Amino acid sequence: MTQTVVTGATGRMGRRLIALIHGDPNCHLAGAVTRAAHDAIGRDAGEIAGVGTLNVPVSANLADIVVKADVIIDFSVPEASLNYLRLAREAGVAMVIGTTGFSAAERESIVDHSRYIPCVMAPNMSLGVQVMFQLLQQAAALLGSGYDIEILEAHHRTKVDAPSGTAVRMGEILAEARQQTLDAAGVYGRQGQVGVRSDTEIGMHAIRGGDIVGEHTVIFAGTGERIELIHRSQSRDNFVQGAIRAAQWLVTQSPGLYGMEDVIRAE
């Protein structure tokens, strides 16, 4: 049984993680953490997740329960995630990071911590998205510079970072396939007299509204034809199942920073 602590336990992803961990015969919920002063503190995590009493109270202090864990699964916010990662490193506990919106400096901090503990970090833990990443690399390499690339992503109204981490990773993959960098090629939205589109740019556009779980569309627009690759998440369970899969794999690994492609390749 993989002893698992869930941070961000009262969020959408956290609640589904608790529910699916409870239903997984190879996982056990060892703890649940949320931000201080949340009204769920002290309540049973299973009741918060809608799966009944699990006798695991929601806590605000990871330091008190990290010693019970084999692995932490984190879907929270960057500042909290980095604090959790520091505690994981001190305790020698593996960590799966699904949080997005990290700055370049914060990502460097994650790399540093991962020299001491095994860590999986991925902007999207869906198997389908991992397949789409590979398809995008192949399409960009095969189509070459004769096709303009635009990325469109849509998420629920409460998502705080834009573009999504998944869209950014797609942009990085496409830029690398064209021997570019996303920093140089990325164009984020357009307004006003923007001029003629360049041959090298990669357009990036974000939609926020309602309860959209997550949609990513990549358009390759050529002369006389257009190719579109689309991934639509119909529920959060595909992300959660991927995170649990990553956690169970990670606890047997050496220190280092891994991605979902490593998890999938190994199985």
Task: Considering only CA atoms, give the Rg of the chain.
Answer: 19
Strand, coil or helix: what is 260? helix
Note whether 220 and 167 are within 8 A (CB). Answer: no
Q: By CB neighbour count within 10 A (0-12 exposed, 13-18 middle, 19+ buried), where does 57 fall?
A: middle
Would you name the residues annotated as active-site residues? 155, 159
Give the CA angle between residues 86, 213, 107 to the nearest 5°. Answer: 25
| SS3 label, residue 105 | helix
Instruction: Please state whether the peptide bond connecting residue 25 to the residue before it is cis, i.e. omega within 30 degrees of 0.
Output: no
What whole-number distance in Å separates Cα of residue 228 and Cα of residue 8? 34
Q: Name the residue among 59, 57, 33 with its Cα closest to residue 46.
A: 57
What span, in angstroms and rounded, lies between the C-alpha atoms of 54 and 120?
27
Q: Strand 71-74 and strand 58-59: pairing?
A: unpaired
Contact predicate 92/118, CB 8 Å? no
Distances from the Cα of 262 to the Cα of 60, 105, 235, 247, angstroms: 32, 24, 24, 12
Task: Give the distance, in angstroms, between the CA of residue 178 and the centroid of all CA atoms in the same chain.
Answer: 24
